[in-house]
Amino acid sequence: MGFKMSLMSIRKSRIFLLRLSCIPLIFLAVFVRPRWSVGSDTAFVIELCGYLFLLAGLAVRMWSILYIGGRKSQQLITAGPYSLCRHPLYIGTFLLAIGAAVCFENVLLLVAIILLFIPLHLIVARLEDHHLELRFPREYSVYAQRVPSFWPRFRNYHGKKELLISTRVIGRVMLDTMAVLLIPQLEDLLEVLHEAGLVPVLWHFP
């Protein structure tokens, strides 16, 4: 019961912190725009870089979910992406957040993600470390000594030939994919709304 309550507390903290950090991020995404024109070469190159970050983040998250989906507190996952670092899901999330900011061509949004969104996730990751230390005291201690929190250690890599994947996990992967694919479309829609004057731009940069 104690472990279940601990996990619920971590999940509630993660959701609360994520929602809290999204308030200023959404404001910056909607009301701040760059000075360069929508169809410029600068805009094209920046958006392309954003797409690459989004695809990288989506790939990391999908890979991680396939390994850990539905088994997060039932067993200690140490194979696949979890043999490289202890929190690959968050690595994917960081890449997605950075990709979204770059897609929106928004320097302030990118700075806010680096200074607010990522540190909050680092705090939640530490809470998850503590939970897993309690849940798997002997195994996790050995695992944590061998595998870093975030920076991948590629020489540690080992995978599995077969994975048992639930339909719920497949559904989560599909939702993640659709959400990521909508980000560029939302950015294009926002550009149209700004051009039409339906959504005000409160500040242009640089």
In this predicted structure, what is the pLDDT of residue 12?
67
DSSP-derived letter for residue 160 is: -
Per-residue pLDDT of 6-47, as tens digits, reads 555 656 666 777 777 788 888 999 999 888 887 788 888 999
The model's confidence at residue 145, banded by pLDDT at 50, 70 and 90, is very high
Give the Cα separation of 194 and 199 in Å (integer): 5
In this predicted structure, what is the pLDDT of residue 10?
58
Question: What's the burial of 77, exposed, middle or buried (CB within 10 Å: 0-12/13-18/19+)?
Answer: buried
Per-residue pLDDT of 50-59, as tens digits, reads 999 999 999 9
The model's confidence at residue 82, banded by pLDDT at 50, 70 and 90, is very high
Domains (range + CATH), the chain: 2-14+37-197 (1.20.120)
Average pLDDT on 122-151 reads 89
Give the Cα separation of 38 and 183 in Å (integer): 16
Neighbours of 50 (CB within 10 A): 23
User: The tokens 């701040």 sit on which residue?
Assistant: 32
Per-residue pLDDT of 89-130, as tens digits, reads 999 999 999 999 999 999 999 999 999 888 888 888 888 888
Could you tell me the pTM of the whole model?
A: 0.87
